[in-house]
Amino acid sequence: MHTYIGPSLAAGGRTLALFKIPTRQGEVYMSVGRTEFGNDERAVVEVRRDALFGLWRNDLTDTARALAARGKAPGETLSEKLELADEGFRFGMDDPVPLVEVCCRVRSQIKAAPSGGPAAGNATAQPYVSVIDGVARTLWLASQGAPCFPVECLVAEAPLLARLAGSRRSRWMRVSEMLPRH
């Protein structure tokens, strides 16, 4: 991974896997930490911004619905969240921003048969990414020109995400590999 720096001691004595991401504003820092369980099932994949957005676009209707359901107009919510993301990224290496959490899956779709064609439609598979936590962080990184950045997903989804959107010559890693138990 190009952005991975290595383990770093954070405030409070907690060890985090630290990442340095280049942006137009300079370098910003992100991190992921061990949890009590599930570190072997959590993966970090360094993704290319444009490829991630291409996959995310396939799920954009769900994202827009979720933003609207929060009771505010999507623009207001997003504007407020982008300001918070901007502020969060300013803390630097001392207080890195958590990784964006995504899921990467494939949805089956039935396309209607062309008129005059067979009665049954054609089944196709459409890969997509959903941002589970970190929509504003994702949009902030994109708006600041970050060419690639790390995201967290389930190990079961990491090979697909790495194949479809992963950085060149980069491999995904389990959180337990980055932060082994002492």
State residue 156's pLDDT score: 97
Three-class SS of the chain: CCCEEEEEECHHHCEEEEEEEEECCEEEEEEEECCCCCCCCEEEEEEEHHHHHHHHHCCHHHHHHHHHCCCCCHHHHHHHHHHHHHHHHCCHHHCCEECEEEEEEEEEEEECCCCCCCCCCEEEEEEEEEEEECHHHHHHHHHCCCCEEEEEEEHHHHHHHHHHHECCCCCCEEHHHHCCCC
Mean pLDDT, rounded, for 37-52: 95
Q: Would the pTM of this model clear 0.85, i.e. be above it? A: no
Q: Is the pLDDT of residue 64 over 60?
A: no
State residue 177's pLDDT score: 94
State residue 6's pLDDT score: 93
State residue 14's pLDDT score: 84
- Among the residue ranges 41-55, 94-108, 110-124, the one predicted with the least confidence is 110-124
